[in-house]
Structure 1
Amino acid sequence: MSIPTVKAKLLEGRKGLIVGIANDRSIAWGCARAFRALGAELAVTYLNEKAKPHVEPLARELDVPIFLPLDIAVPGQIEAVFERIADTWGELDFLVHSIAYSPRDTLGGRVTDAPREGFLTTMEISCWSFIRMAQLAEPLMKNGGTLFTMTYYGSQVVVENYNIMGVAKAALESAVRYMAAELGPKGIRVHAISPGALATRAASGIPEFDALLEKTKLKAPAHELVDVDDVGMATAFLAHDAARLITGQVLYVDGGYHIVD
């Protein structure tokens, strides 16, 4: 799929932060393209100086006014991003959190054997970072808004080789529900988007991922894999006022894979 030509700028005037673009195959990139196509103005982050050359041309394509580094492991960088948004825009309408990480030795081993440090790192980057960003976004969402994070089917059932990341995503989905309940009175909606398996740089760290892609394509009722633009357009819809009473959901964008035994 590619982003369709959109005549009506349904999100014109909205401002949002996109976290997690690594390259043009990133889920965050599909989201950024969709939001921009619908007229939203974007702030974009990149992981570090090594990643910057891969993300900067994409940020230019989106004509972003805010482009900053954001590495969860670097103290103060999350806060610096939100301070810049506050200084530049003074408000925020949506946030897309599309980052997850687990050390290779932790991700590749049994959950039962997860080392303490590896477990804590996995949870900090894959789950806590969304909670922290929601806390910082809340005062900027003066007229309500929408918070998005990315999850996967392995949070609900055991997916071979997904291992400790399944535990982290289960915690993340629970956080979505609790934050949706807490922030709902302020008009802030919270969602987890659950794409089907798709080839991203992050997914390349999962052992035997190619086999998982093939299994997904065969099993899904649609018999095709989703791409980042499919995910992006579905996410952007939920940021529109037409979805103002939808919150706390895990939205599967997977061709129906999750409904088939």
Structure 2
Amino acid sequence: MLKGKKGLVIGIGNDQSIAWACARAMHEAGATIGGTWLNEKARPHVEPLLRALDAEIQRPLDVRDDAQLQALFDEVAQRWGRLDFLLHSIAFAPRDDLHGRVTDSSRDGFLLAMDISCHSFIRMARCAEPLMSAGGSLMTMSYLGGAEVIPNYGLMGPVKAALESAVRYLAAELGPRGIRVNAVSPGPIPTRAASGIAQFDTLVQDSIQRSPLGRALTIDDVAPLCVFLSGDGARAITGSTLYVDGGYHTLN
């Protein structure tokens, strides 16, 4: 499905992360992959995974560092000369702000969460645009908490709402160039990132009990959709938030 395509996967944290399942599935579908790790602490958990995919681009990326972001896309331009798809799967909020009320969130915490979780996707879209002269696919990860109030999701709710809105605006602006922009919204899946959400196990159990499919979700449930969105079969799909939650969102 993705034979001959070249893409970046941003946000692999370890072998339990959604981004890893997507990168692996994209590679199995024939794509050439590039990936990043956050810092030297994360590198030992990510670099072996990228090696297993024969990833042609492997480098650190802290999205707060404009130089690192530019260096990544410079390497894409030099090594590949183009970019067919990009998956943005990163989010962060300071612990105190995440666990507290949105009403009480700090200015610095809100701005940091918005910068890393939302605006970084916009910056990546800007960098990717000239490399997608023949069209392409930009994807990001959201959650139902961006569309409605989810207990304990807190500050990330408004941030994901902003991210989904950004998806729609980017889709409108980049559509004339053949660049599609979509958000994927998985249900609660136990990952390292999700472990920061208070009482996350309760969200998982509620999803199992109330969703039409009635089962736990895994990272491998998300990967096939991202493979599809990366390929030509999704050529007319843009500006959407697509749920991978066993139908849970239909009941709220």
Q: Considering the TM-score relative to the shorter chain, is it more than 0.5?
A: yes
What residue is the counterpart of 1:147 in the other structure? 138
The alpha carbon displacement at 1:72 in A equals 1.7
What residue is the counterpart of 1:175 in the other structure? 166
Of residues 41, 58, 63 in structure 2, which corresponds to 1:67? 58
Question: Partners in 2 of 1:66 and 1:150 — Cα distance?
Answer: 22
Of residues 119, 122, 126 in structure 1, which corresponds to 2:117? 126
Deviation digits for residues 124-155 of structure 1 (CA, Å, limit 9, x no counterpart):
00000000000000000011000000000001
What residue is the counterpart of 1:137 in the other structure? 128
Matches within 5 A, 1:26-65: 26-65=17-56
- What do you get for the CA RMSD once the two structures are aligned? 0.7
Partner of 1:76, secondary structure, is helix
Q: Could you tell me which amino acid in structure 1 is paired with residue 6 of structure 2?
A: K
Unmatched 5+ stretches in structure 2 = none
Greater mean deviation of Cα atoms: 150-159 or 237-246 = 237-246
Question: Partners in 2 of 1:255 and 1:101 — Cα distance?
Answer: 25
The alpha carbon displacement at 1:225 in A equals 2.0
What residue is the counterpart of 2:5 in the other structure? 14
Q: How many residues align?
A: 252
Percent of aligned positions that are identical: 58
What residue is the counterpart of 2:149 in the other structure? 158
1:250 corresponds to 2:241? yes
The alpha carbon displacement at 1:74 in A equals 2.8
* TM-score normalised to structure 1 length: 0.95
The alpha carbon displacement at 1:34 in A equals 1.2
Of residues 114, 121, 124 in structure 1, which corresponds to 2:105? 114
Question: Partners in 2 of 1:226 and 1:160 — Cα distance?
Answer: 19
The answer to whether the 8 A contact 1:94-1:145 is kept is yes
Partner of 2:14, secondary structure, is coil
Question: Partners in 1 of 2:167 and 2:64 — Cα distance?
Answer: 22
Greater mean deviation of Cα atoms: 228-237 or 73-82 = 73-82
Question: Partners in 2 of 1:117 and 1:48 — Cα distance?
Answer: 22
Q: Could you tell me which amino acid in structure 2 is paired with residue 168 of structure 1?
A: V
